[in-house]
Structure 1
C-alpha cells in the first residue's frame, strides 16, 4: 500500500461542515445548418438555476482529491475510498477491523449481506465500492500496515477539505428553455425532395422529485484552505423536461422530451469551475459547431455562437 494519502486533524475529531453550491447560467444562442441543399436556422434562450448542498467531514487532507493530474487523482481517490471503506467496516464491526485469514468470518452478518458476494449497485444496491476496496486492502496487507495507513489520514499538515453530495439534501432547480428551428430538409431520402419544417422546444420546470434526488449526489468539490481555491469535478447541468413540437408537410408531431444544454456550454462550465474562486462570475461567446438540437445524424455544417454567462458561489448555507 504505497504512496499513502496523508491528512490532518488537530487532536479532537474535526467538526463536520456543510456548504451550499449555487449556479446561475444564461444562454442566448443562434446557429445555422447546411447540408447540400438542406438548411435550417435556430435560436435558443436558456436559463439554469441550481442550488444544492454538500458536506465535509471537516478533516484537512494533505492532497487534493481532484488533483488536475488525472493519474495522481486516480491514486488519491483510490486510497481515500479505501480509507472510507475501512471506516465503514470498523463502524459496523464494533469499532474494530477484521484481519488475517479470519477476515471474512469476522465481518458481521450485516456487512456480509451488504458487500460480501455481490456487485455494488447491481444485485446488492447497499454495497459501496469503498467497502470492496477496504476488504481487498484487508486481505492484501497486515494489520500493522492497515493501522498505519489509517493513522496517516490524521497526520498534521493537511489543507484540503473534501465536500460531497448526500442523500436528502435541500436543493432547488429552476430551468427555462426555449428554442426555435426552421428550414428545409429531405425527410424522404429516396426522393430527395426538400420539405419545409419548423420545430419549437419549450420547458419551464422546477425539476421532478427524481431529478432533485439525483442532484444531491452529483457534485464533488475540494477546497484549498491555504489559497481559497475551489476545485469542482464534472460540473453538471440537467436537461429540462419539456415539449418538442415539430411541424412538417406530413403533419404535427408533439411529444415530451429532455431538452439538452449545448455541448459547448457544458464543456465551458466544466472548464470554468474545475479550478476557480469559491464565488464569481464569467461571460463568454462560444462557437457552436455541434447541433443545438443534439441530432448529429443529419451531418453537414453547423455554425453558430452562444452568449453565455455563469455566476456561482460555494459558501455556508443561509441560516433559516
Structure 2
C-alpha cells in the first residue's frame, strides 16, 4: 500500500506489550487466602507453645510420675482417650438430621479438642464445630442449635450419671460448706441474668426443643445423640479410672468416676481454657475428699491431663491447620 509523499506511514496502535507472561484469572483472591491460612496456623502454634512453656513443670512432673506406672493400664487410658473423639463425633451426628462425612467429623472432633485448650469454656470446640457444620451446608442458626442440642444431651447424661453413682456410693460426695451470703449472692446473680436474657433465652430454648423433637423423630439419630453423649462422659471417667489403677490408687472405680464427673461439672463454672486449673483443682479436691492420699490424687490429675491434653495437643493443632488448609473448616 503506497502513502502520499511527505507523509509518514500511518500506524495502528495496539495493546502495549507485556513484560512477562499473563496469568489466567485474578491472583488476588489466592494471595489473600494464603496469608490468612498461614496466619491461622501461626496463631495456633504460638498458643500451643505458650501453654506448653507455661505448664512445662506440670508436663515434666506428670511424665516422671507415670514413668513407673503400669503400662497396661496406661494403654487402656490411651485407648479410652482416642475413643472419646469418636463418641463426640457420634453425638454431634445425632444432633443433626443431615448425614455428615464420618471421617471428617471425627477429625474435626480431634482438632476441636485441641482448640478447646486455647479458648475458654468450650469456645474453641464450639467454634470449630460451628464452622464445620456451616461448611457442610447447615445454616448458622441450625448449626448453633445443633451444638446446643449436643451440649444439652451431654449435661443431662452427666447429671444422670452423677445421680446414679451418688446413690451407689453414698457419702462419696462431700459438698464444701458455703456461707448463706455466698448462696444468696449466687442466686441473685443467676436470677438477674435470667431476667436480662429472658427474651433471647426463650427463643433459644424454643429452637433447641424444636431440634430435639426433630432428632427424636428419627430413632437412629436419637440413639447416636444419647449413646454418644453417654459414652463420651463414661470414657473420660474411664481414663481417670485407668490412671488410678496404673498408679495403684486405693479407691473403687465407681468413686473415682463420681469424683471426676462432679469435679468436671463444677469446673464448668470457671471458664478457663480446657478447664486448665479449675478442673485440676476440683478433681484433686474431689479425689482427696473421697479418701485418696494427696500425692496420689495429684499424680492422677497429672496423668489424666498428660493423656487428654498435652500429648494430643500438638497433633490436634496440626490437624486443625490441615482442616483449615483443605477448607473443611
Question: Which range, TM-score by smaller chain?
Answer: under 0.3
TM-score by length of 2: 0.26
TM-score by length of 1: 0.26
Higher relative contact order (CA closer than 8 Å, sequence separation 6+): 2
Which of these two proteins has the greater Rg computed from alpha carbons? 2
